[in-house]
Structure 1
Amino acid sequence: MRSRFWPRLFVFILLVVMVLPLPAAAQGADAGWIAEYWPNRNLDRAPVVRALVPDLNINWGLGSPDDLPVDNFSARFTRQVTFPGGPVRFFARSDDGIRLWVDNALLIDRWTDHPAQETYTAGAQLAPGTYTIRVEYYEHLDRAEIHVWWQAIPPEQQGAWTAQYWANQNLAGDPVLTTQVTEVNFQWGRGSPAPVVPSDHFSARFTRTVTLLGGDYRFFARADDGVRLWLDGWLVIDQWRVGPATVFQGDFEDVGAGDHTIRVEYFEQTGDAVLQVWWQRINAGAAVPGEEPWRGAYFANRDLTGQPVVVTQDPAIDYDWGTGAPYASLPADNFSVRWTKTVFMPSGDYEFIAEADDGVRVWLDGWLVINNWTDGPARISRGVFRRVGAGPHTLTVEYYEHTGVASISFRWHRLP
């Protein structure tokens, strides 16, 4: 007669392992995210997988986390983060539903099926201390991805705006309300800014003076419906249209150090009303407007194996080394390079273009867009990625040189 003791003991050990908490070191402040996964969309019953993830910038594509179905799963991510105090803006982009809490305050609530085409934001004024950030997520069908990040609102964005509101959507006549607001970060939903302002067919103008460092700046506006933004009278964003909440951006190069006037105009037609505005300095100079440098890792072999010989910050991928080598510590033949960077992209369809001698590969958020990993003279390779969601995306370019001439250039653009 077969004994039932060992199968029962195995099941008991498995259950104990599943319910054991993560190590204490993993639960300390700023130690990463504690991830819990469920094989259903409702975080129902006990999680079947627990793990640590360093950051929430995950694109599973048509796949899923280990040991979970590719559709109809959910997750909870928890992290202890210490903030120095002051206003903080939180961002989330996902496919499908997402919720974000700071301690027990629900800041972002988009618990619906939707593609990762929109970045949701919310601000919070935090006292110095350690906070629990909790994110819940579910995947229904098709693609699965989640991106969560935050940034302190810099001092130049913390001053008061003069806000004027009109009871029409054309900023016509005299405003019915003039007040001061600390930031342009509103999600009125189907409500209105104030009792004297209607919930539909209203407009607003926000004006303030800010002190900026010299350099190139990128301005963002998320609006439902129309929005326009000026810097010192120059129109930077012009999206005076009716449509759902969408993130728009505009760049202004060579901004001089000193005081500058920002003006934002907005109108709401019907339905939900949303307006959020922020900006960031993207370049202290003007060598490569609007872009942070690439991190380049150079290897003394064709396979990107082992430790890189040289690690650099490259302003662009546009090199023609001829029959030479990128650096004296590298061979002229049989070397390889991996470049990575994170870029902010508006939603849309994108074409990526690489010209290389010899092999080249390009990924967007882990998805292979260009794959021409073969020897050959300089030739152009193209790849298209459709329905890119607005927000930060990771680009990876890999290249190898076999023999003879070595060259590579890479660029991309949004398709009309």
Structure 2
Amino acid sequence: MAVKVWGALYPDADGNVDGLLVASGLMESGPVGFRTEPPPPVAIGKFTLVNLYDGPDRIYPRVGQIVQGQLCDLIGRNLDASWWQLACAGDVRGWIDARLVTVDGDIYGVRVASAQPVDPTGTPAPLPPTPTAPPLTPTPTPGQSNVWQAAYFNNGQLAGAPVWSTALANLDLDWGVESPSISVADNNFSARFERRLDFSPAGYYRFTVRADDGVRVWLDNEPLVDEWHGSSNQSYIVGRTLSGLHDLRIEYYEASGLAHIRFDFEYVGLSPEWNAEYFTGTDLRGSPVLIQGEPRGVLPLDYNWGYGGPAVGSSVGTDFWSARWVGRFRFAGGDYYFRVVADDGVRLYLNDLLVIDSWRDGYKELSNRVIGIGAGEHTIRVEYYERTGLASLRFWWYLDSASQDVQ
């Protein structure tokens, strides 16, 4: 039986390395003349659109793109295998950052390739055409309400004429460290996404947008989110009672580094979970300057206002304000832990019982346990104030499973 041996040479007791091979594996070979070669490895795009370059670095010209799920043959690598050279459909060839694709197959035999391959005549190979993304079904046309109309700008202010326009079925884009298109810069670009939506059935809808970096959301020209600043994977949640057709506009900009944006909406019901009242001043006095329903987020209350304010375009402001949230929630019978993370002051009531009381400035993490909450609906009231600086509020509860009532 023929065997293949691989391992490492180690010195013997006299310091010699000749002939002393420590085997780390044995592999049975097939019959001579009948060896089966493994299929070549392929790279699979991980993101919506990813650029290909003429060499293993972003300093080289862009020569094309691949789309999410597209398969390309992996034909070369640089010395440290941090960049792959790909051959894709349509004679598209180029280099891609190894972090932006998934590799399927054995990469052991992938050769180290030169940075700028040439054709057999010795003349530089022509730039390949940019691949076309798979068409949406049905193919989008301008003005349809079931697609987003997207326009991209090579600046962070949506200024001038767009350098690239397209249509999107969903607004869920993750470019990584790449750009949306060969026409758009990797950094310092902006985009506008517009769509008309039919909000049926009538009721309360929750909007969630997550972005890196800045984002603004408009509903019929009313600003819902205004976070035009650098950020890292920040989420913003707002809600409105709606029915029928409404126009949505989302504006986005990328400063540097990673780039992505995702927008979702969902029907909550006829009314949101929380009734929120906002006051000028830090003591909840006087009449509220803003009253609105608000949905729960990932947590029952989950707000990170930073140096901003809670309501774009209102008189609440960014400092020296207070708020009250009241909602009714269904509980299973048992003991519960209540937790609050806040900056600045916060109070929590369960059925008018004061559970947490920290009405003072500064960041705080608090918890309390309430024993023997009965099964059914209970009223929760959260009071909060912001004086100056950073502002945030997170509140949630969970059941002590050991105490749960047996049904």
Please tell me the TM-score bracket, short chain as reference: 0.3 to 0.5
How high is the TM-score relative to the length of structure 2? Answer: 0.46
Which protein has the larger Cα radius of gyration, Structure 1 or Structure 2?
2
How high is the TM-score relative to the length of structure 1? Answer: 0.45
